[in-house]
Amino acid sequence: MNMAELQKKLFAAARANPPSDDVPYAFEERILAQLAAKPAFDILATWNRTLWQAAAPCVAVMLLLGAWTRFAQRADSSRETLAADLESTLYLAFDNSTETW
């Protein structure tokens, strides 16, 4: 049997009989119901929206902390800063080296 010829004949048979494009009754209702039941979830859009929503509170917190830092410094300018406190605590052992040795 000529296989190439058979193959050609079968391709021609398939071309001559295209599948039906019939749509079952109210099929679109089924899909629309699915869409209504499961809203679209776009991870990028959600991330974008969350970032924008977080922007305003972040700016507010930043402004509050900035204002608090400035006013606290003005109110008690004589007190040593946290950095100076930390430094003196760390170097305390070296300052009293004679007692240690």
Residues binding another protein (CB under 8 A)? 1-7, 9-24, 27-28, 30-32, 34-36, 40-42, 45
The counts of H helices and E strands in the chain are 6, 0
Q: What is the rounded distance in angstroms from the CA atom of residue 72 to the CA atom of residue 99? A: 37
> 19 or 57: whose CB is closer to another protein?
19
> 37 or 82: whose CB is closer to another protein?
37
* CB 44 to another protein: min, Å: 8
> 35 or 92: whose CB is closer to another protein?
35
Q: What is the rounded distance in angstroms from the CA atom of residue 100 to the CA atom of residue 39? A: 71
* CB 71 to another protein: min, Å: 46
> 41 or 94: whose CB is closer to another protein?
41
Amino acid at 83: A
* CB 25 to another protein: min, Å: 12
* CB 10 to another protein: min, Å: 5
User: Which ranges of 1-101 would DSSP assign to H, the alpha helix?
Assistant: 3-16, 27-37, 43-75, 82-90, 92-95, 97-100
Max Cα–Cα distance, the chain, nearest Å: 109
